[in-house]
Amino acid sequence: MRISFLGGISEIGGNKVLLEHNGFRILLDFGKSFKNESKFFMRPYLAPFSISDLIKLDLIPNFPGTYKWQEGEPSIDGVLVSHAHLDHYGYVPLLKPEIPIYMGETSKIIIKARQDARTSSWERKVHIESIRTFRTGSRLEIGPFQVDPIHVDHSIPGSYAFLIEAGGKRVVYTGDFRFHGQISQLSRDFVEKAQDFEPDLMIIEGTRVAPESDPEEAMIRLLEQHNIYQSLTRPPLRVKKEAENEEGVLDEMKAVAEIAENSLILIEANTTDIDRLRTVWLLSKHLGRQLIIGETQALILKRLLEEDPRIKNLPRIGDFLLYLSRRRREDSWEEVKEGRRRPAIRDLISMIEDQCGPEAVIWGENRRRVAKEPSSFVILTPNSPSTLMGILPESGERFPITFILSRSEPFNEELAMSFDRLLNWLAYLGVRKYYRIHVSGHVKPEELGTVISEINPEKVIPIHTSYPELFEEYLPPALRKNISLVSLNETLEL
């Protein structure tokens, strides 16, 4: 078996691992590298015009006949997607529709809901008909490759690791995982299955392997210093609250809310972090406030509740208010609904209106309710500057805000740009301090040694980490000899 590492090496995300055997080729993830794209593009001002732009800049591999609009037979026989984060599937939309894409059922639900919620460009729209779904217990056969997907706990539901066998060689690919989430038993199940598998090689994530175990910290400090230099004023002070698990996140949020009884509570988190959505919903119920969420998150939530019976204890229609993104013309309620080009969003608005009344939808002047009665609401949003711009009164009058940054994924360059703007918005609105409360979606560095020791592979290759050279520092001396560091585009024979 030949294994080529085409992404995710010495960076967080952008995973692309090519396996080859007996003329068959499969990819483990096909993720977007925000770090590398940001070297050449700054959306929306400068974006790739075509797939060939991405190939020329070595942002995607040059696989002949594989991408949309290319002639010839595809040179890839399938893609295994571990979960529905863009740094793992972001380049899948570029592939020809005849190439099968294998992913968990929940990942398909999330990806389809995201696409149905907004207009997708040529580089964002996954061909849904190409998706082949699986659950734990399924066995996939792709040419000579036998693949067993095993569920893991991560900050997005429907995440999987893979046990892969071909030609008598066995590979474990962890994807992203952790042991401190709401369903940590899933990751323990994976370790047990991988142990029985007796792998020759384990490709394991190491997101939090860093000089600081929290790789966001240095970037946040850098952005704060940049903000001081740019504006010559001190940005809002960051108050970091440690949490060991999702229950700890809720406890810390409750503690902050106790001293913020007269202010709006604004929480920024990833749209697909369903655990965090559940936590913020429980917070709003504890406080007796109304929860407000946006269109995309509401549609993902609706689809998960309808189509995945394993998803439980989440808010339903009637448990939240729907915040509509702004449009240039919002003169009437009918105009607002018809202004949504996506049928799925129009249907969602109509459903909420029918079941809860039009007051359950936040739009137009209705947004000013938030500024007038800030202590009545908790807003959960992936984009705080856009939300703040929508609820700010025409007069510019300030209102009290308690802001909590609660993203469970590391910052990438795309988020960094918006974070810089966010600091300016908070300062403009008089916010003097904000809180960072989260728990990571990734395994703790000190747990890596236990995982590797229990699975006991002959060779270990770190991926999805900015500091692979530090990986051995978290392992017992006896295990360090098993670590192999690879370079980008390096190929090894197993």
Q: What is the pLDDT of residue 75?
A: 96
- The stretch 270-289 carries a mean pLDDT of 96
Distances (CA, A) of 337 to 333, 344, 346: 6, 11, 6
Strands (E), 219-287: 237-241, 264-268
Residue 315 to residue 317: CA distance in whole angstroms: 7
Residue 306 to residue 317: CA distance in whole angstroms: 12
Q: What is the pLDDT of residue 348?
A: 94
Helix (H) or strand (E) holding 337: helix 333-338
**pLDDT of 394-437, one tens digit each?**
777 889 999 999 986 555 545 555 677 788 888 888 899 999 99
Helices and strands: H and E segment counts in the chain = 16, 21
Residue 336 to residue 321: CA distance in whole angstroms: 16
Name the pLDDT band for 285 (thresholds 50, 70, 90): very high
Percent of the chain's residues with pLDDT above 90: 71
Name the pLDDT band for 363 (thresholds 50, 70, 90): confident
**Six-digit token string for 423:** 């600091």
Largest CA distance in the chain: 70
**pLDDT of 365-399, one tens digit each?**
788 889 999 999 999 999 888 888 888 887 778 89
Q: 255-259, 358-362, 409-413: lowest mean pLDDT where?
A: 409-413
- Which residues on adjacent β-strands are paired with residue 80? 28, 102
- The stretch 342-346 carries a mean pLDDT of 89
Amino acid at 440: S
330 contacts 280 by C-beta, under 8 angstroms: no
Residue 230 to residue 228: CA distance in whole angstroms: 6
Q: What is the pLDDT of residue 421?
A: 79
| Domain covering 2-211+442-493 in this structure, CATH number | 3.60.15.10
59 DSSP assignment: S
Q: What is the pLDDT of residue 203?
A: 99
Name the pLDDT band for 342 (thresholds 50, 70, 90): confident
191 contacts 454 by C-beta, under 8 angstroms: yes
**pLDDT of 223-248, one tens digit each?**
666 656 565 567 788 898 889 999 99
297 contacts 271 by C-beta, under 8 angstroms: yes
CB atoms closer than 10 angstroms to residue 456: 14
Domain regions of the chain by residue span: 2-211+442-493, 216-437
Residue 423 to residue 236: CA distance in whole angstroms: 7
3-state secondary structure of 237: strand
Fold of 216-437: Rossmann fold (3.40.50)
Q: What is the pLDDT of residue 413?
A: 47
Q: What is the pLDDT of residue 417?
A: 55
Pairing status of strand 290-294 against strand 377-381: parallel
Sign of the CA dihedral with 114 first, then 120, 123, and 125 last: positive
Terminal Cα distance for the chain, rounded: 5
